[in-house]
Amino acid sequence: MAMAVGEKAEGEPMVDINTTPLIDVMLVLLIMLIVAIPPQRHAVTLDTPIPPPDNAPPPPENPIEPVRILVDFDGTIYWNGSIVQRADMERLMRIEARRNQQPEIHIEPHRLAEYKHVAAVMASAQRLGLEKLGVIGGT
């Protein structure tokens, strides 16, 4: 609060603008702007499929069955429903990678599976040359 000093008669109106409400409004607008700006997200690059050209041949009549790899909560790996060790899984992946037409690899992690087990399966598939890899909703 300011005190007026000078020659002013009693009862005359004050001509100074009170800037306190203006500053309050500016601070509120600044806070709203800061809250409204989305936080910076880390970019993740994905190799998305390219749509086939218009003159592409139709897909084959009997498509290859996808390979289902389940990763259980304790790290157990299932290849199409059968329990396999990691070395056996990699051997089977090598066989699938050598095919003329590779099957899709569907990795289905259990919701309690540790990330390292799932990442190891994905890394093996990538290292061995499998190109059609997908992670589907876990149990």
85 belongs to a structural domain: yes
Digit-coded pLDDT (tens) for 2-21: 555 666 667 777 777 888 88
Domain extent for 101: 73-135
Residue 79: name the closest of 69, 93, 65, 91 by CA.
69
- What crossing angle do the helices spanning 115-127 and 86-97 adopt, rounded to 10°? 30
Give the total number of structural domains in the chain: 1
**What's this model's pTM, rounded to 2 decimal places?**
0.57
CB atoms within 10 A of CB 19: 9
Q: pLDDT tens digits for 41-96? A: 666 677 777 888 888 888 777 778 899 999 999 989 999 999 999 999 999 999 99
Q: Which residue from 125, 109, 119 is spatially nearest to 72, judged by alpha carbons? A: 109
Residue 16 lies in a domain: no
